[in-house]
């Protein structure tokens, strides 16, 4: 159970809960898709063309990212791994500078995520609990483009693969090929007219698909209907509304430091927070630091070692998400993310206790 809660916090720091993160993949990753024409150039003047492709890539990424934020759509998103299959109903509206999103889980325990701009409500009907949090924009895609720098292309090479169809829409297919073994490649399908991401596969180094998130049906366009998201928020009578405390901090203040980070990763958030998203008063408080390479996130947790809960080093994976847990003196360190286990080991190895 503790591992599952860490997974929720890991993704919530990057963008909502685990299932909500997969449902938000369309808006979060659409910016990483380029049309084939950007790279359709002949082989002469290679250096000049490389510079032009770089400029074109950055302008297209910005344009498509903005288009994804302003696109209205609703549909069913299916997430599959070798051992699991889940689906969610996703709705997104943009009305001027206002953003509205809902993600309703169709499998397992009933739950929904309702977002208005940066305020996120996660509603659990059976427990009659609504957890309210602020989405940290520093841990989402736009904040990684500080000073106009597009970091995705530092760690991934974009290769256009051709055309395909997803959920009845014609899509351009591209591969974000990892430039090293520290991260997984991703294969993306983007709707040709809008650039909206329709499908994203995370691939192992041997090309095996570790995890796939894809719309099985989708409706694009239509007028925004904010009441579909705001209405349920006005009917939380009888719910326990929890606003977990999140205290921004940094590793140095908490007595830790990273000797050096794996290539391509930068810290995007650091905070002390409850490990229990329901906000129980006796829940342990953990230090969470989030790192990103511009496309994927790695979360590092530090908490006091508890011999009743922590038993030796643990290594595991669910789909593309890998987890490493290990003891460091009187502390318990958990590192998790959609990256190879060796990358997590590098993060754990460079974490040092200040003396």
User: Could you read off the pLDDT of 188-231 as tens digits, one per residue?
Assistant: 888 888 888 899 999 999 999 999 999 999 999 999 999 999 99
Query: Three-state SS for 97?
Result: coil
Give the whole-angstrom CA distance, residue 192 versus residue 109.
35
- Of 28-42, 112-126, 167-181, 311-325, the one with minimum mean pLDDT is 28-42
Which pair of tokens denotes residue 47? 């250096």
Question: What pLDDT score does 182 carry?
Answer: 97
Give the whole-angstrom CA distance, residue 119 versus residue 135.
6
Average pLDDT value for residue range 65-83: 85
User: Could you read off the pLDDT of 332-346 as tens digits, one per residue?
Assistant: 999 999 999 999 999
Q: Is 246 exposed, middle or buried (0-12, 13-18, 19+ CB in 10 A)?
A: middle
Strand bridging mode 266-274 / 246-248: antiparallel
- % of the chain at pLDDT higher than 90: 52
Q: Which CATH number applies to 2-233?
A: 2.50.20.10
- Which residue spans of the chain are classified as CATH 2.50.20.10? 2-233
- Which residue spans of the chain are classified as CATH 3.30.200.100? 244-353
User: Could you read off the pLDDT of 125-166 as tens digits, one per residue?
Assistant: 999 999 998 875 544 432 334 333 467 888 988 888 889 999
Give the whole-angstrom CA distance, residue 174 versus residue 171.
10
State the Cα angle at 348 between 25 and 266, rounded to 5°: 50
The yes-or-no verdict on residue 44 having pLDDT over 50 is no
Beta bridge partners of 187: 175, 201
Q: Is 279 exposed, middle or buried (0-12, 13-18, 19+ CB in 10 A)?
A: middle
Q: Which residues have CB under 8 Å from 20's CB, separation 6+?
A: 11, 88, 103, 113, 122
Q: Which fold has domain 244-353?
A: Phosphorylase Kinase; domain 1 (3.30.200)
Tell me the CA distances in angstroms from 83 to 186, 209, 272, 317, 338, one per residue in order: 19, 12, 33, 11, 16
DSSP secondary structure, 122-148, as one string: EEETTTTEEEEEE--GGGSGGGG-GGG
Average pLDDT value for residue range 241-257: 91
Question: What pLDDT score does 109 carry?
Answer: 93
User: Could you read off the pLDDT of 286-328 as tens digits, one per residue?
Assistant: 999 999 998 889 999 999 988 888 888 889 999 999 999 999 8
* Residue 168 falls in which region: left (phi positive, over 0), alpha (psi -120 to 50) or beta: left
- Of 5-9, 64-68, 168-172, 223-227, the one with minimum mean pLDDT is 5-9
Query: Three-state SS for 18?
Result: helix
Helix (H) or strand (E) run with residue 3 in it: helix 2-15
- Smallest CA-to-CA distance from 312 within 326, 291, 296 is with 326
Question: What pLDDT score does 88 carry?
Answer: 94
**Terminal alpha carbon distance of the chain:** 33
Q: Which residues have CB under 8 Å from 292's CB, separation 6+?
A: 14, 139, 144, 151, 265, 266, 268, 298
Query: Three-state SS for 118?
Result: coil
């Amino acid at each position: 159970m503790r591992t599952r809660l860490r997974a929720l916090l890991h993704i919530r720091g990057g963008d909502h809960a685990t299932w909500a993160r997969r449902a938000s993949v369309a808006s979060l990753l659409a910016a990483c898709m380029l049309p084939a024409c950007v790279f359709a150039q002949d082989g002469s003047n290679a250096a000049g063309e490389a510079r032009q492709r770089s400029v074109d890539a950055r302008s297209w990424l910005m344009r498509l990212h903005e288009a994804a934020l302003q696109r209205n759509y609703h549909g069913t998103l299916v997430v599959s791994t070798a051992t699991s299959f889940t689906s969610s109903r996703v709705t997104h509206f943009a009305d001027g500078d206002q953003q509205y999103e809902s993600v309703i889980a169709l499998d397992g325990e009933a739950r929904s995520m309702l977002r208005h701009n940066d305020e996120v409500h996660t509603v659990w009907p059976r427990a009659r609990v609504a957890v309210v949090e602020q989405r940290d924009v520093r841990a989402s895609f736009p904040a990684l483009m500080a000073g106009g720098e597009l970091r995705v292309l530092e760690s991934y090479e974009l290769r256009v693969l051709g055309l395909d169809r997803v959920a009845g829409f014609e899509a351009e297919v591209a591969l974000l090929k990892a430039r090293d073994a520290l991260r997984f490649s991703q294969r993306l399908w983007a709707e040709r007219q809008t650039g909206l991401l329709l499908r994203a596969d995370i691939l192992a180094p041997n090309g095996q698909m570790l995890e796939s998130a894809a719309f099985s049906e989708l409706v694009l366009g239509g007028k925004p209907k904010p009441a579909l998201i705001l209405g349920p928020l006005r009917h939380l009578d009888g719910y326990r509304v929890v606003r977990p405390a999140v205290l921004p901090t940094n590793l140095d203040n908490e007595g830790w430091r990273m000797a050096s980070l794996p290539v391509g990763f930068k810290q995007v958030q650091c905070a002390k927070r409850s490990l229990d998203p329901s906000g129980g008063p006796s829940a342990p408080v953990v230090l969470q630091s989030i790192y990103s390479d511009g496309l994927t996130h790695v979360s590092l947790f530090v908490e006091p070692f508890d011999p009743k809960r922590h038993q030796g080093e643990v290594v595991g994976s669910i789909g593309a998400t890998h987890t490493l847990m290990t003891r460091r003196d009187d502390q318990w360190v958990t590192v998790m993310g959609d990256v190879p286990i060796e990358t997590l080991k590098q993060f754990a190895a460079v974490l040092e206790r200040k003396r």
